[in-house]
A and B are shown apart, each in its own frame.
Chain A
C-alpha cells in the first residue's frame, strides 16, 4: 500500500506491503531508498536495515493512531526514539490514491463532529441545539479525575445536534455534538 505521511508541513510518500506480519521482514520504500524492516510489537521496536549490515532499532515508546470510519486520513501521534534522541511527532497519514492530491481537499460534509478527548461524566452542557458558536466558546464541562474540564470549540457555526445529556458517562472518542459550519 502506498501512503502519504504529512510531517512538519512536508509530504513523504511511503510504499509498504498490503499486510505487515509481526516478526517478519518486509520491504519499505521512502525517499527513493528501499529498506528492509521488521516490526516487533511486544518489544515495541521497528528494526530497519539498509543493506550495510547495521540493524537500526527504532523504539516506539508511545503511538496513537486515530481514525474514523468513512475518513481516509489518520491522525498520528507518536513518541519515537531514533537517531539517539526522542522525537515527538504530530502527523497525518492517508492512502496515496491517484487523483487525490493535497491534504485539504477532503470531500464531505460541512458538519464538524466534536468528540470527547477524555473519559468522564458530562457535568454541564452550556449550549443548546441551534445556538451559534464562536471561536473559543465553551461548549460543555466534563468531570474526570477530580477535575472539571471545559470543552471549547474553535469553530464558528451552528450547533446542529447534541448527542449527550448531563450526567452521561462518556469515553474518549464519544461524539458529543455536531457543529454545522
Chain B
C-alpha cells in the first residue's frame, strides 16, 4: 500500500445519531481521534459521549445546528480537527460546505465540490451521463413544442409516457399517457398546470416506468484515477420514496447484468470526476434496461450491506482515499460474497400508517449471534428526540444464501426488544413472510400494491407466517391476562401508555426525507 500523502489525526463528525456512532467506531479502529457535535436536543445522545471530544451546537432545529456551516466551522477550529466527515443527510451533499471546510484548512472526507456540483443538478447530470454513454430514461432533452412532436416522440420511445412540467415536483404537473388518443388532452392539461403552478409552460416527456426496481451501485474512487464498483444494492422496498429494507446483491441481476451495469456506474462516476465513495442509482424497467437516475455523492444509510458482501469498511476507505491513498484492488480482484440484508428500524407505528412514535427506550435488547450487526445510537433510558429523523437503528445480517439471510433476519428481529417505542419491526416481519418478497418478485410499488396484506398484518391479530401451533389461543389469552394483571404488581413489566383509541388514526406524510 502506498504511503498516504497526509495522515488524518482528528475527525469532526458533522452529524448525529447512528451514523455518527458508526463513524466514531471506525475512527477508533484507525487510531484517529473523534470530535462529536451535538444540538441541545442531543445533549444525551450516544455520539456525544462515545467520541473523544464534543462541541455543543446551541439550538435544536436542524437549521440552527447540524445545517449551520458557520457553527460547524467554528467547531472545527476550536476542536483542532484536521478533517470533517459529513455522514449522510444534513450537509453531506452541500458543495458549499465541502468548499468552506477545505478553505478553512481541513480535509472534507467526501468528493471534490466540483464533482458534487456536476451530479447535484438533475438535468445537467442526465446530460453528462448521456454524453458518456450511460443510459438515461428515454425521452426528450428539450421542451415539447406541440402534440405532433409529442406523437412522433411517443412512437420512438413507446408507451406509457410521462409528461412533466419543467418546474414541477412532488407529483404536480405530471401526466401519464398510455395511448395516442390521450396525447393531446394530456399535453394541454399538463401545459396548463405548468403555467398555473410553476409559471413556466415548458413540458418534457420521457418513458414512464410503471413498476420499477431500484438498483444502486456503490462506487469507490481514489484521487489517482482508480475506481471500482462494489456491486449493487436492491432498495426496491420503499414507502413514499423512503427506503425501508435493502439487500445486496439483488436477485434481479445475473452476473453479466451485474458486470454491465457496474461498468456503467464506474463510467458515470468517472465522467463526473468523482473521488471517494458514492452511489449511482438506477431505475430498472427490466434487468437489461437500467437507467441512470441520480448519484448520491456521500455515504448511504444502507452502506453496511455492501460492507458485508465485500468485507470492506467503507468509512475506513473514505478516510484512506481522503488521505490520498491509492486503491490497492482492481475490479477483477473483487467478488460479492454471500447475501446481506438491512432492516431500517424507524420509531414509527406501521399500524398507524407509519406515524412517528418518539418515546423513551424503557428496556432494550439488541440481537446478537452469528453474522448479525446492529448500528444504533439507542441505549436504555434514552429519549428519542422528535426534532430529527425517525430512523433509530439498522439491523444487518449476512448469510451464504438469500433464504438463509431471510431466516437470520427473522431470528434477529425476534430478539430485538425495544419497550417504550413502537418501531417498524412488525413491518419487516410481515415483509419477510410475504411470498412476493421471498421469491424476489417485487418493485418499488410493493407496499402500495399489497395494501390489504399490510393492513391485515398490522391491525389484526396474527402470526408471522411461520409454521406453529394453531391451538395456542387460550395460552396467548393467559399471557395477555398476566400482562393486564402485572400492571397492578409492584414491578410492572409492561409499558402503560395511555390510549390507543380506534376512533382516531393518523396519516403521516414526510415533509423532508432522508434519501
Q: Which residues on A are within 8 Å of B, measured CB to CB? A: 1, 3, 5, 7-8, 10, 12, 14, 16, 19-22, 28, 30-31, 33, 35, 37, 39, 41-42, 44, 46, 48, 58-68, 74-91, 93, 112-120, 142, 144-155, 172-173
Q: Which residue of A lies closest to B353 (CB)?
A: A149
Q: Is the CB of B500 within 8 A of A21?
A: no
Q: Which residue of A lies closest to B417 (CB)?
A: A61
Total chain B interface residues with beta-carbon distance under 8 A: 78
Task: Render B104-136 as a binary contact track against A, CB cut-off 8 A, 1 for contact.
Answer: 000000000000000000000000000000000
Please tell me which one of the listed residues B355, B365, B496 contacts residue A66 in the complex, with CB atoms under 8 A apart.
Answer: B496
- Closest beta carbon of chain B to A24's beta carbon, Å: 11
Known contacts A46-B482, A82-B472, A93-B484; A145 and B494 CB within 8 A of each other: no
Q: Is the CB of B359 within 8 A of A172?
A: yes
Within the assembled complex, what's the spacing in Å between the Cα atoms of A145 and B466? Answer: 34
Q: Is the CB of B507 within 8 A of A150?
A: yes
Looking at chain A's contact residues, is the secondary structure mostly helix, strand, loop, or mixed?
strand
Within the assembled complex, what's the spacing in Å between the Cα atoms of A89 and B461? Answer: 4
Q: Is the CB of B469 within 8 A of A7?
A: no
Task: Render B488-515 as a binary contact track against A, CB cut-off 8 A, 1 for contact.
Answer: 1111111111111111111111111000
Q: Which residue of A lies closest to B458 (CB)?
A: A88
Q: Is B316 an interface residue (CB 8 A)?
A: no
Q: Which residues from chain A contact B494 at a C-beta distance below 8 Å?
A: 63-65
- Closest beta carbon of chain A to B414's beta carbon, Å: 6
Please tell me which one of the listed residues A67, A145, A153 contacts residue B356 in the complex, with CB atoms under 8 A apart.
Answer: A145
Q: Is the CB of B476 within 8 A of A20?
A: no
List the one stretch of B281-289, B368-376, B386-394 in contact with chain A. B386-394
A-B contact pairs, 23 of them (CB 8 A): A12-B477, A12-B478, A19-B488, A19-B490, A20-B482, A22-B489, A46-B482, A63-B493, A65-B497, A68-B499, A82-B475, A83-B468, A87-B476, A88-B463, A90-B460, A91-B477, A93-B481, A115-B501, A117-B352, A144-B356, A145-B386, A149-B356, A155-B503
Q: Is the CB of A74 within 8 A of B487?
A: yes
Please tell me which one of the listed residues A60, A67, A172 contacts residue B493 in the complex, with CB atoms under 8 A apart.
Answer: A60
Known contacts A74-B484, A145-B386, A147-B508; A22 and B493 CB within 8 A of each other: yes
Q: Is the CB of B482 within 8 A of A147?
A: no
Of all A-B residue pairs in the complex, the 6 with the closest CB atoms, nearest first, are: A173-B498, A14-B481, A12-B477, A41-B493, A85-B468, A145-B356
Q: Is the CB of B355 within 8 A of A117?
A: yes
Known contacts A78-B483, A148-B509; A66 and B499 CB within 8 A of each other: yes
Q: Is the CB of A146 within 8 A of B389?
A: yes
Q: Is the CB of B505 within 8 A of A118?
A: no
Q: Is B40 an interface residue (CB 8 A)?
A: no
Within the assembled complex, what's the spacing in Å between the Cα atoms of A9 and B462? Answer: 13
Give the one of A21, A117, A173 with max B CB within 10 A.
A117
Q: A20-B486, A87-B476 are in contact. List 8 more A-B contacts (CB 8 A).
A: A16-B485, A30-B474, A64-B494, A88-B457, A117-B499, A117-B506, A119-B358, A153-B503
Q: Is the CB of A77 within 8 A of B504?
A: no
Within the assembled complex, what's the spacing in Å between the Cα atoms of A133 and B88? Answer: 43
